[in-house]
Amino acid sequence: GRVNWQAEDVDQVRELLPCPNTYRLRRRTPGSFVLVSCPQIGRALKCQGQLEAAAAVIFAGCPEIQSVCEQPVKIWYSWRETGSELDIQILKSPPQRERRRRASKNVSYVVPDFLVKLTNGRSYLVEVKPSRRLEDQIVKRKLSASRTYAAKNGWPFYVLTEQHLLRGTLVRNLRLLARYRHLQADPHELATLELRVPQDGRKLTDLLNAGASGAQVRVCLFHLLAIHRLSFDPRSLPLDKETMIYPGGAFTWNPFDSVWAPNGCSTGGPSV
């Protein structure tokens, strides 16, 4: 049956380490990790490189995402090649050490990058990979194991590459707004701006011209957009003076249905 995932129920979630902006998470993994502030979970997501960070920016800025967990679970699996097919079996627990030595060529594990839960309760297992690595046989096997594990739990499984994450304006728009998320602003001024936005929307330039100080109004508008008290469509065009601004909740989106699904990056998740 379907698993109702909660971040605190995932055994393999790593504790947030006290640290500066970048740090080493695993000793055997070279390089520093990028932190991306995620308001849904009240802390930063730890990302292995800029491509994962781009995915995290989208998750953190999406109004329909309730929770995000990075490196959520270590999936142990065995595999057997049967002609041109690959038979993947998900193991309930890590193999015994002696057994692991004897069967080391046929037992391994994979740690997916993200488990994402929407406000409607649906969860998605996500792996981020550069497109150049998708033809690697080991990568193919690990993706197959993640796909099998996701299907057993009733989750769609998505593989995201730079083609899904970096083209278009979505990441740039959300990174811009993230700078204004924690702005300390006059509550009365914010409420006044909200009242100026009708249900059918209003151009950003009209809102800027309505205030005494266009620069200050712009800062407050971007803050309201960042915290979803106002809304707009960040997916296809840059945020500029011609952008239509709507009340909070009037325009909503999630990347799995409206950004990535048409690109074919879902890899065999079940229809649930």
Q: Which residues contact 233 (CB under 8 A, 6 or more apart)?
A: 244, 251, 253
Q: Is residue 56, in this structure, part of any structural domain at all?
A: yes
DSSP state letters, the chain: ------GGG-TTPPPPPP-SSS--SSTTS-S--EEEEETTTTEEEEESSHHHHHHHHHHHH-TTEEEEEES---EEEEEEEETTEEEEEE-SSPPPHHHHHHTTTTEEEE--SEEEEETTS-EEEEEE--GGGTT-HHHHHHHHHHHHHHHHTT--EEEE-HHHHTSSSHHHHHHHHHTTTT----HHHHHHHHHTS-TT-EEHHHHHHHSS-HHHHHHHHHHHHHTTSEE---SSS---TT-EEEETTTS---HHHHTSGGGT-B-S----
| Beta-carbon-side half-sphere exposure of residue 92 (alpha carbons within 13 Å) | 0
Report the sign of the C-alpha dihedral through residues 120, 124, 128, 134, in that order.
negative
Same domain? For 78 and 206 the reply is no
Same domain? For 80 and 20 the reply is yes
CATH number at residue 224: 1.10.10
Same domain? For 47 and 124 the reply is yes
Same domain? For 193 and 240 the reply is yes
Q: Which residues contact 224 (CB under 8 A, 6 or more apart)?
A: 190, 193, 194, 230, 248
User: Which residue, 167, 192, 220, sits at the end of a domain?
Assistant: 167
Quick one: which of 174, 178, 192 has its CA closest to 238?
174
Same domain? For 231 and 148 the reply is no
Same domain? For 128 and 230 the reply is no
Same domain? For 107 and 232 the reply is no
Enclosing domain of residue 246? 183-254
Q: Is residue 208, in this structure, part of any structural domain at all?
A: yes
Q: Give the mean model confidence (pLDDT) for residues 227-249.
A: 97
Same domain? For 41 and 159 the reply is yes
Q: Is residue 270, in this structure, part of any structural domain at all?
A: no
Same domain? For 219 and 138 the reply is no
Q: What are the tens digits of pLDDT across the range 78-110? A: 998 877 788 999 999 888 875 555 545 689 999
Number of domains in the chain: 2
Q: Is residue 141, in this structure, part of any structural domain at all?
A: yes
Q: Is residue 272, in this structure, part of any structural domain at all?
A: no
CATH number at residue 72: 3.40.1350.10
Is residue 44 within 8 Å of residue 59, measured between CB atoms? no
- pLDDT band at 265; cut points 50, 70, 90: low
Same domain? For 152 and 230 the reply is no
pLDDT of 270 higher than 90: no
Single-letter amino acid code for the residue at 246: Y
Q: Give the mean model confidence (pLDDT) for residues 34-42.
A: 97
Q: What are the tens digits of pLDDT across the range 51-78? A: 999 999 999 999 999 999 999 999 999 9
Structure token pair of residue 191: 């409420």
State residue 81's pLDDT score: 81
Is residue 157 within 8 Å of residue 150, measured between CB atoms? yes
Q: Is residue 133, in this structure, part of any structural domain at all?
A: yes
Q: Is residue 142, in this structure, part of any structural domain at all?
A: yes
Q: Is residue 271, in this structure, part of any structural domain at all?
A: no
Same domain? For 96 and 208 the reply is no
Q: What are the tens digits of pLDDT across the range 158-202? A: 999 999 999 899 999 999 999 999 999 999 999 999 999 999 999
State residue 188's pLDDT score: 94
Same domain? For 12 and 116 the reply is yes
CB atoms within 10 A of CB 141: 17
State residue 64's pLDDT score: 97
State residue 86's pLDDT score: 83
Is residue 52 within 8 Å of residue 60, measured between CB atoms? no
